[in-house]
């Protein structure tokens, strides 16, 4: 049985690995990838998501979202992931561009367009980050 995922990410090296696993899994259909600032700024995180989608030969829309947290100041993790979030290996720019729609709108539309699976929100206790996942 195929499971539908909507992946919300702040794409750096750790999330790129998770994206690759999801995009290459036969039992997973990634309906959309939404990106926010976190490990790196939202523009770089979006670029990293697009690069990862292309690396996998996938055709999945990528949407940019929030450039900073709503309730606290933005702090990146470039000290760990490198300035580009992928270890500063100078990977080529992706050919694809992000969709023009905002990530929040894409989340709503993706959930509405995929009524079959149950969607739920998962919050990591450690990072207090919330994600929407299919189950």
pLDDT score for 114: 84
Kindly give the residue spans of alpha helices, DSSP state H, lying in 8-117: 13-24, 42-55, 78-81, 103-113
Residue with tokens 């259909």: 29
Q: What CATH code is carried by the domain that includes residue 33?
A: 3.90.245.10
pLDDT score for 105: 96
Q: Which parts of the chain have pLDDT scores under 70?
A: 116-135
pTM of the model: 0.85
Residue 25 sits in which domain range?
A: 3-134
User: How many folded domains does the chain comprise?
Assistant: 1
Structure tokens at 88: 């500063």
DSSP-derived secondary structure letter, 121: E
């Amino acid at each position: 049985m195929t499971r539908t995922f909507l992946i919300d990410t702040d794409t750096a090296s750790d999330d790129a690995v998770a994206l690759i696993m999801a995009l290459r899994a036969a039992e997973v259909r990634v309906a959309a990838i939404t990106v926010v600032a976190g490990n790196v700024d939202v523009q770089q995180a979006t670029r990293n998501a697009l690069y990862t989608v292309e690396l996998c030969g996938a055709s999945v829309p990528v949407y940019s979202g929030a450039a900073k947290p709503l309730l606290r100041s933005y702090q990146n993790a470039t000290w760990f992931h490198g300035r580009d979030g992928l270890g500063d290996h100078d990977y080529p720019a992706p050919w694809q561009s992000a969709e023009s729609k905002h990530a929040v709108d894409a989340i709503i539309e993706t959930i509405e367009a995929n009524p079959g699976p149950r969607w739920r929100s998962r919050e990591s206790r450690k990072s207090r980050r919330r994600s929407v996942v299919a189950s």
